A and B are shown apart, each in its own frame.
Chain A
Amino acid sequence: MIAANAAAPFLKFHRRWRRLGWHAVTGFLFGYVVLHSLSMLIFQWLDPRMAEAMPNHRAAGSLLAAAVHSFQPDMLPMGLVFGLVGAAIATFYGYHRLAVSFQRDRLAQELARNEKLRGELAVQNEELAALELANRRTTQFMAHDFKTALNCVGGFAGQLLAKPGLRDDREVAEALTCIRRQAHRMTGAVLDLLQLARMGEKGKPSVQRLSVTEVLHEAVGDFSLPAHAARIGLGDRHRRCPPLCANRDLLRRVLCNLVSNAIKHNGPNTRVCVDAEVSESGREVLFSCRDDGAGIPPEVLPLLFRKFAPAKEFSHGSSGLGLAFCKAAVEAHWGRIWCENLPQGSQFCFTIPLDKEHSHDQCIYDI
């Protein structure tokens, strides 16, 4: 059975070449018998004197005479020429068909392979989707656990810091502040990661109406900011900003990321200034975070805002996710984010549209 199967293509191949042979023979016969006779007829018709030259006088002038004459031995070379021409044409035609049939076979094979591959791809896709779902569930589950655990750590540190007896002991207060800061920092990172994943997989964040000044104050006073964050200043243009429709947590995390970057990637004496103003067009609020540090290293510039950019370019101990999160969060609000190096230090800017209709649409989802 298997042997028969294996021999099948060969047999098919063989049969095809044999058919080509038949084509040649038929072509030859057709040329010799039909075309040759026909040519005789045509010659006779063109030049009646030829009929006289034919030895078979009795049939002279009749159609048959020409046909019969074409089979005379002295006409053999002529017949051979016609036969060969016929054979050549037929062989050419046969060869063409053969090529087409080979191509058709190849195509069929290709199609079958495609079909098979498509099937495999579908299976793989399904597996991938299942894996991604499992992955997402695990991430969510872990993030939930982390959030709760870190919330306990940071929350209790905060509670203890509020107790006058403990707050007044400098050493204890410092330790508690440190615990609270690290817990808040980790919580921030977990939330950013979660949000980044969420924003990738589905639409827009829920938004609410917020005061720009309030958000800026919240961000600048965030417990997650590094210990030497004493030199963070707020500009004074933000007070003239109208309320904004945005997701409070996302906006605060974006600002926190920018401020903490400015401190983390520059010396402890860096001055940071955060502000917001209505842009020139009057259609968006322009947030800015400016520092007087060393500026962005040129080799890092093209990689900024890129998720999982090659980490070796970034400063030591960085995940390089901070700005990717910022970009995703700002773009989820239909805003833009960019950065520019100043003569001294750098400035990160982003916009959140004020567009009335736009924000009205979204604010329907206020919760």
Chain B
Amino acid sequence: MTNVSTTSKHILVVDDEPDFAALLRSILSDAGYTVSTAYDCEDALSQARTRRPDLITLDIQMPRRSGIHFYHKLKKDDRVRNVPVVVVTGLTRDREMENLIHSLLEPDKLPHPQAYVEKPVEAERFLQVVEETLACPIGQDR
């Protein structure tokens, strides 16, 4: 089943740590996705614009707040604003982190990311989240 539905899906992995990006790439491509990686905000934006991915995984804690910057620019660009985003973060997923992210997005009334995954990332759980997010296109979710 995965083969049919996922081979066509393209995922953009945005993470400033190349090794970690490589790990996510390995997990995703083993599951049959087409994966490209970007290590900074600009590169990620241009890649997202030239080849609209089906999903983006984003490390929100990249240096110089570039993770947040990227998210802002993505959501303000009509061509790519509908690409679902899975936030990968080293922060523990609790109210504190959600508050932080809310406070960053609130001023511009930006929509929230589709899902959060915390480090350490486990292949199985990560793939499950990605699959669920892909299955639930933007506009239809919560």
Separation of A198 and B90 alpha carbons in the complex (Å): 14
Q: Is the CB of B123 within 8 A of A159?
A: yes
- State whether the Cβ of A306 lies closer than 8 Å to any Cβ in chain B: no
Q: How far is the CB of A156 from chain B (nearest CB, A)?
A: 6
Chain B residues proximal to chain A, CB less than 8 Å: 17, 19-20, 22-23, 26-27, 30, 61, 90-96, 98, 116, 119-121, 123
Q: Which of B23, B61, B94, B116 contacts A156 (CB 8 A)?
A: B23
Separation of A202 and B93 alpha carbons in the complex (Å): 15
Which of A29-37, A143-151, A348-356 is near enough to bind chain B? A143-151
Q: Which of B17, B27, B91, B94 contacts A367 (CB 8 A)?
A: B94
Chain A residues proximal to chain B, CB less than 8 Å: 143-144, 147-152, 154-156, 158-159, 162, 187, 191, 194-195, 198, 202, 205-206, 249, 365, 367
Q: Is the CB of A151 within 8 A of B23?
A: yes
Q: Is the CB of A147 within 8 A of B95?
A: no
Q: Is the CB of B61 within 8 A of A144?
A: yes
Additional A-B contacts beyond A148-B90, A158-B123 (5; CB < 8 A): A155-B121, A159-B27, A159-B30, A162-B30, A367-B93
Given A148-B119, A151-B20, A365:B92 Cβ within 8 A:
no
What is the number of contacts between chain A and chain B, taking CB atoms within 8 Å?
A: 59
B120 contact set on A, CB distance < 8 A: 147, 150-151, 154-155, 187, 191
B30 contact set on A, CB distance < 8 A: 159, 162
B93 contact set on A, CB distance < 8 A: 206, 367
Given A150-B120, A155-B121, A144:B23 Cβ within 8 A:
no
B119 contact set on A, CB distance < 8 A: 144, 147-148, 151
Q: Is the CB of B90 within 8 A of A152?
A: no
B26 contact set on A, CB distance < 8 A: 155-156, 159
| 3 A-B pairs with least C-beta separation | A144-B90, A151-B120, A206-B94
Q: How far is the CB of A255 from chain B (nearest CB, A)?
A: 16
B61 contact set on A, CB distance < 8 A: 144
When C-beta atoms are compared, the residue in chain B nearest to A187 turns out to be B120
Q: Is the CB of A206 within 8 A of B95?
A: yes
Q: Is the CB of A155 within 8 A of B90?
A: no
Residue contacts A-B, CB under 8 angstroms, 18 given = A144-B90, A144-B91, A144-B119, A148-B17, A148-B90, A148-B119, A151-B20, A155-B123, A159-B23, A159-B26, A159-B27, A162-B123, A194-B92, A206-B93, A206-B94, A367-B94, A367-B95, A367-B116
Q: Which of A152, A191, A249 contacts B20 (CB 8 A)?
A: A152
Q: How far is the CB of A163 from chain B (nearest CB, A)?
A: 8
Q: Is the CB of B94 within 8 A of A155?
A: no
Q: How far is the CB of B115 from chain A (nearest CB, A)?
A: 11
Q: How far is the CB of B132 from chain A (nearest CB, A)?
A: 15
Separation of A147 and B91 alpha carbons in the complex (Å): 10
A158 contact set on B, CB distance < 8 A: 123
Q: How far is the CB of A238 from chain B (nearest CB, A)?
A: 22
Q: How far is the CB of A333 from chain B (nearest CB, A)?
A: 14
Separation of A149 and B119 alpha carbons in the complex (Å): 10
Separation of A195 and B118 alpha carbons in the complex (Å): 14
Separation of A43 and B116 alpha carbons in the complex (Å): 106
Separation of A71 and B130 alpha carbons in the complex (Å): 117
Separation of A158 and B26 alpha carbons in the complex (Å): 11
A191 contact set on B, CB distance < 8 A: 120
Q: How far is the CB of B90 from chain A (nearest CB, A)?
A: 4
Separation of A147 and B17 alpha carbons in the complex (Å): 12
Q: Which one of B20, B30, B98, B120 has the highest number of Cβ atoms from chain A below 10 Å of its Cβ?
A: B120
When C-beta atoms are compared, the residue in chain A nearest to B90 turns out to be A144
Q: How far is the CB of A203 from chain B (nearest CB, A)?
A: 9
Q: Which one of A158, A249, A365 has the highest number of Cβ atoms from chain B below 10 Å of its Cβ?
A: A158
Q: Is the CB of A367 within 8 A of B123?
A: no
Q: Is the CB of B98 within 8 A of A148?
A: no
When C-beta atoms are compared, the residue in chain B nearest to A205 turns out to be B94
Separation of A198 and B96 alpha carbons in the complex (Å): 11
Q: How far is the CB of B117 from chain A (nearest CB, A)?
A: 11
Q: Which of B17, B23, B92, B116 contacts A198 (CB 8 A)?
A: B92
When C-beta atoms are compared, the residue in chain A nearest to B16 turns out to be A148
